[in-house]
Amino acid sequence: MLNRRSCGVLLHPTSLPGSGGIGTLGDDARRFIDLLAGMGISMWQVLPLTPPACGNSPYSAFSAFAGNPLLIDIDQIVREGDLADAACPGCFPEERVDYDAVAEFKSVALRRAAQAFFAAGRSARMEEFWHFCDTTAWLHDYALFMALKGRYKGKSWHKWPADAALSAPQMYEKASAELGAEIGIHKYLQWQFQRQWRSLRDYAAGHGVAVIGDLPIFVAYDSADVWRNRGLFLLDPAGKPTVVAGVPPDYFSKTGQLWGNPLYDWDALARQGYAWWIERLRHLFTQFDCVRIDHFRGFEAAWQVPSGEHTAVNGHWVKGPGARFFEAVAAALGPLPIIAEDLGVITPEVEGLREQCGYPGMKILQFAFDSGPANPYLPHNHVRNCVVYTGTHDNDTTLGWYDKLAPERRRGVNAYIGAKGGDIVTDMLRTAFMSVANTAIVPFQDLLGLPGEARMNTPGTAFGNWEWRFSWGMVSRHLGESLAEMLERYGRRNR
C-alpha cells in the first residue's frame, strides 16, 4: 500500500464531532470515512488508540495493547440493549475535549452497561465475550492492573503495597479473585472497544480506505506493561527506572524533551527472542493496515537520561538492537507495511537501518525552508519510498505555521513553491501532492484551512493538548470536489 501514489488524512478519532464531548467509533466516524472515500483519499492515519495515562496523551498509555474506553460509542451500546439511553450532559464543549468531564460521564455510563450485560446472563453475546477473554493474552493483566489502580485511588503502581507493586504470585491470584467484578468491567470495556473498532475498520475497508496506526516506541512507566514485565526494562530492584527516555535539544525545545518513559533492557528482550515486541506488533496488525513507528531512531540508539534530571540536556546516546530486532520480527510475522518516523537527530546509522529494513521515512514540509537547497525535506530531495506530510500532530497547522514566519522566511517559502501567499494552505497541499513521494498525508486541519488554534499538540507543554475537535459545519460543500480534482491531477486519487 506504500508503493503506489496515494493520499491520506491524519485525524485522531477524539477529534471527530459528536454529542458526547469526544469523538467516538460511531456514526460520525463512518461519515468521516464516507467523506474521505468521496474525495478519493485512500488512507486514514490515527494516533495511538490506547488508554491515555498522563496528560491525556495517546503516547502515554496504561497499556500498549488495550483500547481507549473513551472512544466507545454509547449509541451502539444502547442499540445492543446494555444501556437504556445515551443521555449525556449538554454542557460539553463542541470544539474541544474536556477530558475530565467526559471521563466522569462515560465511566458511569459504561459501568452501568457492563453491569447490565453481566446481569442478563448467558447469551450469544456472552459467549462472544468469553471467547474474547479466553483468546486475548494481555487482557487479564491489564484488567487486574486497572482494578488495582482503582483500589489504590489511582496511584502509580510503584506506590502500591510491595506485594501488589511487585506483582507477587500469591497477591496476583488473591487480587484476581477479590476484584473479579471490577476486572470483569474492564474486560467488558475492552471487548466493546475491540468489536466497535473492528466494525469501523471493516467499514473503512469496504469503502477503499486503509487505516494507519501509530506505535510509540516507549511505554509509560505507570502501565500494565511495565508492572507485569519489569525484567524487560532498566529498573532498579525496587522497580524504579535507573534511566528514562527523551530527546536532546532540537527544533522543538532548547533543553530537549524529557519524556520520562522507562527504557528497554534490550539484552533481556533478545534472550526471549523479542517475544513481547513481536506480540505487540502482531496485535497492532490485527487493528491496522499499516503502522507508523514513532521515534524509529530509538531502535538504532536512544537518548538515555539519568533518573532525577529535570531536563533532557544531560543524556547520552545508547545503542539499541538495530537490524537484529527487525530480522526477528520479519521471521515471526513476515514483511510488514511500516512507516518509520525518522525525524529529529538522524545519523547515517539511523538512515542505514531504515534503508536496510526498506521502510519509508517521513518528509515534513514545515521543516523544509529553514536552510539551503540540500534540506532533505524540500520536495526536490524527496524519493519515491517516503511519506510527505505538510505537518504532523506535533506541528502547528500550516496556516498557523505560515502566519508565525518572519517576512523574509515567508518570501522564501513563496518563491520555492511558486505562491503569492494568498492561499498558502492550498499551495502547500499542492506542493505535497506534487512530490515524487509515493504517499502524501495531510492533517485534516490543513484540508479545512484552519489557523493555529486548531493545533493538536505542542511538544514540551503539559496542558491544553490533544483537545481539538472539528464540527461538520467546518467542512465546505466544495471541499470534496476541489480536493478530488487536485488528487486526480497529481495521480493520487483512489478509485
How far is 415 from 395, CA to CA, in rounded Å?
A: 22
3-state secondary structure of 7: strand
- DSSP SS3 for 38: helix
- Phi and psi, residue 195, nearest 5°: -75, -35
Question: How far apart (Å, rounded) are the C-alpha atoms in residues 243 and 322?
Answer: 20
Residues ≥6 apart with Cβ < 8 Å to 412: 369
Q: List Cα–Cα distances, 241 to 171, 196, 221, 245, in angstroms.
A: 23, 36, 8, 10
Could you say which of 214, 300, 394, 446 is catalytic? 394
Residue in 73, 182, 225, 294 annotated catalytic: 294
Closest CA to 324 of 287, 286, 278, 365: 278
d(CA 214, CA 336): 14
Residue 189's alpha-carbon distances to 12, 144, 416, in angstroms, are: 20, 13, 50
Q: Which one-letter DSSP state was computed for residue 222?
A: S
Nearest to 99 by CA among 68, 64, 62, 59: 68
Helix (H, G, I), strand (E, B) or coil at 246: strand
Q: How far apart are CA 32 and CA 420, in angstroms?
A: 32
Q: Is 342 annotated in the active site? A: no
Q: Where are the alpha helices (DSSP H) in 169-306?
A: 169-178, 180-206, 224-228, 266-271, 275-287
Catalytic residue among 82, 182, 341, 427: 341
Nearest to 306 by CA among 253, 234, 229, 231: 234
How far apart CA 467 and CA 85 sit, in angstroms, is: 26
CA–CA distances in Å: residue 378 to residues 3, 390, 420, 428: 20, 11, 18, 12
**Three-state DSSP class for 220?**
coil
| Annotation says 467 is catalytic | no
Q: 45: helix, coil or strand?
A: strand
Closest CA to 75 of 184, 192, 183: 192
* 202: annotated active-site residue: no
Q: Residue with C-alpha cell 538492537?
A: 321
Selection from 185, 184, 192, 178 nearest residue 111 by Cα: 185
Please report, in angstroms and rounded to a whole number, the separation of the first and last CA atoms in the chain. Answer: 14
Write out the catalytic residue numbers: 294, 341, 394
